[in-house]
Amino acid sequence: MIQHPDAHRAPDLQPALIGLDWGTSALRAYLLDGDGNVIERRSRPWGIQHLPAGGYAEAFETVAGDWRGRWPDLPVVAAGMVGSRTGWREVPYVECPADAHAIAAGIVPFESECGRIHLVPGLLQGGPAPDVMRGEETQIVGALARDPALATSALVVLPGTHCKWARVQDGCVTGFTTYLTGELFAMLRDHSIVGRPARDATIGTAASRAVAFRRGLAVARASGAAGIAGKLFTTRSLFLCGDLAAADTLDYLSGLLVGEELRSVLATLGGPCPPCVLVGEPTLCDRYRDACAVFGIERVRSLDETGPLGLWQIARAAGLVAARHPPAMEATRRG
């Protein structure tokens, strides 16, 4: 058998599940064994907004078609924006509080051109100001499986374009809040006057950028209940006054925005901060760890790539796979 060009394979494991993390900007596919271990992983920049000419079917066949051809009886579980209103087929949200079994109960089997695919629902926090997530719920389920101690009480933080802060109690996601921190940063960087100085500057040193980021965090923390609305322009005024190098302005801006996110979280907790776990890209998680330290949040750890285990846990809860042993816990933990 010719190896797929994207293959990253672990030897001598028997496949039990094909898992897809299919978001807005990327498609990630995992071949998993009966214990939730990743046998092979593949990816393409084919999120739902950047599909190849043949659409969803071509994307699936290119990334996972040979797996299905070789093991036609393997169940396929897909999470993320593929199940959104603009995805392959819309799947209704499951309302919080919800655990892996509630999420699994909301799975919709979909008879596609590529065979049956089980689409995972996202989560809905109802009420007068509703909030939603698709894909992150799978990462949260994986994080709780990786570290069961988190299930008692924790904040699971998923940094990114739309950062999610999910509250976990007794194994259930009880609620969550979405912060547009990454998107706001990109908009201000690319389409506002505060982002202009950095466009003509060389990249600053790692040390100077770290100092600028922490300076932005400190300003956000000191803003109190007023927030940073009246501080955003200091990204430009500090530069004009010679107090901030052009190359460091974006890190200062990032500190302001991430700091405002943490200020808001702490203001709404109404009590001590529970243990906090960061799930996502390691460099971004490190930045959030630094921010948490500035804001006095001490019980913070990071977990790498919890999505595949979450897909397996949800498939197991849905009866699509049967565990041979307890879920594998040896995956990398950081912090």
* Predicted local confidence at residue 3, as pLDDT: 45
Pairing of strands 27-33, 38-44: antiparallel
Rounded to 5°, the CA angle 165-264-25 comes to: 40
Cα dihedral 303→154→276→138 (10° resolution): 30
pLDDT digits (tens, 9 = 90+) for 285-334: 999 999 999 999 988 999 989 999 999 999 999 999 986 654 444 343 44
Which one-letter DSSP state was computed for residue 180?
A: -
Over residues 5-22, the mean pLDDT reads 76
Q: Are 254 and 219 in contact (CB under 8 A)?
A: no
Give percent of the chain with pLDDT exceeding 70: 93
Over residues 203-214, the mean pLDDT reads 93
Give the CA count within 13 Å in the CB-facing half-sphere of 334: 14
Q: Are 167 and 176 in contact (CB under 8 A)?
A: yes
The CATH number assigned to the domain with range 181-271 reads: 3.30.420.310
pLDDT digits (tens, 9 = 90+) for 35-89: 999 999 999 999 999 999 999 999 999 999 999 999 999 999 999 999 999 999 9
pLDDT category at 8 given cuts 50, 70, 90 is: low
* Predicted local confidence at residue 271, as pLDDT: 83
pLDDT digits (tens, 9 = 90+) for 244-289: 999 999 999 999 999 999 999 999 998 889 999 999 999 999 999 9
Are both 15-135+306-334 and 181-271 of the same fold?
Answer: yes
Over residues 194-204, the mean pLDDT reads 87
334 three-class SS: strand
Question: How far apart, in whole angstroms, are the C-alpha atoms of residue 95 and residue 61?
Answer: 32
Residue partners of 61: CB distance under 8 A and separation at least 6: 54, 114
For residue 138, is pLDDT > 70?
yes
* Predicted local confidence at residue 324, as pLDDT: 62
Over residues 159-182, the mean pLDDT reads 96
Residue partners of 31: CB distance under 8 A and separation at least 6: 15, 17, 18, 38, 39, 40, 41, 67
Q: Which residue has the higher pLDDT, 54 or 3?
A: 54
- Nearest-Å Rg of the Cα atoms of the chain is 21
Give the pTM.
0.90
* Predicted local confidence at residue 335, as pLDDT: 46
For residue 2, is pLDDT > 90?
no
pLDDT category at 124 given cuts 50, 70, 90 is: very high
Residue partners of 166: CB distance under 8 A and separation at least 6: 133, 136, 140, 155, 156, 157, 158, 173, 175, 176
Of 288, 329, 310, which Cα lies nearest the Cα of 98?
310
Of 74, 10, 85, which Cα lies nearest the Cα of 48?
85
The full set of domain ranges for the chain reads 15-135+306-334, 181-271
* Predicted local confidence at residue 4, as pLDDT: 53
CATH class of the domain defined by 15-135+306-334: alpha beta
**If you average pLDDT over every residue of the chain, what do you get?**
92
